[in-house]
Amino acid sequence: MSDDIAVEVTETEQPKKKLGRPPGTGKKILETRVVTRETRVPLGGFSGPLTLQNKDPNYFYYWPLDASEGGPEIERLIQAGYVFCTPEENLVPGNTSVYSTTTGVGSIIRVPAGNDNKYHYLMKIPLEWHKDDQKRHFDRVDKTEEALYAPIDGLHGEGLKIG
């Protein structure tokens, strides 16, 4: 028995939420996936929409929230070196019921973020760059804490008398 199960979903029409729309105007999805023992999402346990399987250990993955691929949060991340993840990378979001991608060559992975027309876009950065960013961040936090707890003449230490 093979461990691979080919799951093919042909072009299907999603039902509209409002009555009175003409038939054939629903969103169409065309998707083909191969599910293996390693890539399947088991029943039970946590598999929220922002969990991820088949990650490359050399990258840090991040799900920023923005209204479009060109929004301000996405722009900031692109300037920092993040790139969009694509379906060709065979990444599997945890809850495939909300899995959605844009169409066409070079498409990206995104997950709807509720009813406010925003999406979580899957992006990645080399792990080494992410570690550098984290070190800079924590160095800045350490300096701030040192400044907060540094003794001030007359207010801290042996010479301070309260009462």
- Domain ranges (residues) in the chain: 5-149
Q: What pLDDT shows up at residue 98?
A: 43
The Cβ of residue 92 has, within 10 Å, a number of other Cβ atoms equal to 20
For the chain, give percent helix, strand, coil, nearest 5: 25, 25, 50
Q: What pLDDT shows up at residue 27?
A: 55
Q: How confident is the model at residue 1 (pLDDT cuts 50, 70, 90)?
A: very low
Residue that wins the pLDDT comparison between 74 and 14: 74
Is the pLDDT confidence value at 10 over 80?
Answer: no
Residue that wins the pLDDT comparison between 138 and 1: 138
CA 146 to chain centre: 34
Quote the CA–CA distance of 66 and 71 in Å, as a whole number: 6
Is the pLDDT confidence value at 113 over 70?
Answer: yes
Q: How confident is the model at residue 90 (pLDDT cuts 50, 70, 90)?
A: confident
The per-residue pLDDT for range 20-72, each reduced to its tens digit, is 555 555 555 555 667 777 766 666 655 566 778 788 999 999 999 998 888 89
